[in-house]
Amino acid sequence: MDKILLSFDLEEFDIPEEYGQTLAAEEKLERSREGLIPLLGLLKKLNITATFYTTAFFAQANPGLIKEICLDHEIASHGFYHSSFRNEDILSSKQALERITGKVLSGFRMARLMPVDETLIAKAGYIYHSSLNPTWIPGRYNNLSKPTLPFVSSGIIQLPASVASALRIPLFWISFKVFPEGVYQRLALRTLRKKHYLNIYFHPWEFADISSYKIPGYTKKIYGIELLRRLETLLVLLKEKGRFVQSSEYCFDFLQTLQHPDAPRF
């Protein structure tokens, strides 16, 4: 059956700081919590499991919430802090999240999908890495030469975000609110049908009231309850066509079928 990897980057809401505003740490955490609660309710209602790439900073400030999330979903690492990064964070965020969840973490995603030394991710003991958006985002990255389906490199499984058609139209969180709803739905469903793999990601803070922040219009074109309604419609459509799996479960199945000389050993 076609597999859907739904994920959320659970981080402190720091986008306004990219645009010159300063937010107190508590406010950044609060916006994420504000969107997270209704989002978790929706996932429960639809009985859908997801992967939450979480910063250790958010998790340490909200250990009870993280423990609750990992009853139904997978927790992976989104680094230690969202606004700053040191190589040591790859391992220290894993350790911090494992202390809170009591589970071994398998996955890593870099904040803002920035480039990272992948050998360090494998060395820290992760099984998979999901920081590749195999498209071109002007001013951010150009990954048009990279694979669009899962592959193994540097000793880890790479789980690229999904793109649609030969034009590699990104199906990430911005397209979801910028494209007309029906267009996004058709692209997502077609990609799932053709590739048997759909990896899409959003952020809990998108489901909070972010209207007053001075951030680009496309980041808040739709937000809060309206966005949650749009997500519900999409998830209901996808659920008819595929199976939602946590990223580590996908990787486990991927390894079963993989006969690659570079495949990691466990």
Residue from 3, 7, 9, 197 touching Zn ion (CB under 5 A): that is 9
For the CB of residue 236, give the shortest distance to Zn ion in the complex, in Å. Answer: 26
Residue 11 binding Zn ion, by CB under 5 A: yes
For the CB of residue 90, give the shortest distance to Zn ion in the complex, in Å. Answer: 15
Cβ(75)–Cβ(105) below 8 Å: yes
Q: How far apart are CA 158 and CA 122, in angstroms?
A: 11
Angle, helices 63-72 vs 25-46, to 10°: value is: 20
Residue 14 binding Zn ion, by CB under 5 A: no
Give the Cβ contact number of residue 160 at 10 Å. Answer: 21
Q: What is the CA radius of gyration of the chain?
A: 17
Which element (helix H / strand E) includes 198? strand 197-202
Of the listed pieces 5-13, 134-142, 180-188, 229-237, which binds Zn ion according to CB under 5 A?
A: 5-13
Site for Zn ion in 86-145 (CB under 5 A): 111
Contacts of 30 (CB under 8 A, 6+ apart): none
Applying CB under 5 A, the site for Zn ion has a residue count of 3
Nearer to Zn ion among residue 121 and residue 192 (C-beta)? 121
For the CB of residue 109, give the shortest distance to Zn ion in the complex, in Å. Answer: 7
Residue 56 binding Zn ion, by CB under 5 A: no
Contacts of 43 (CB under 8 A, 6+ apart): 49, 50, 72, 73
Nearest residue relative to Zn ion (C-beta) = 9
Nearer to Zn ion among residue 29 and residue 111 (C-beta)? 111
Nearer to Zn ion among residue 9 and residue 74 (C-beta)? 9
Nearer to Zn ion among residue 111 and residue 192 (C-beta)? 111
Contacts of 159 (CB under 8 A, 6+ apart): 5, 107, 128, 129, 130, 132, 150, 199, 247, 250, 251
Nearer to Zn ion among residue 161 and residue 192 (C-beta)? 161
Binding site for Zn ion (CB under 5 A): 9, 11, 111
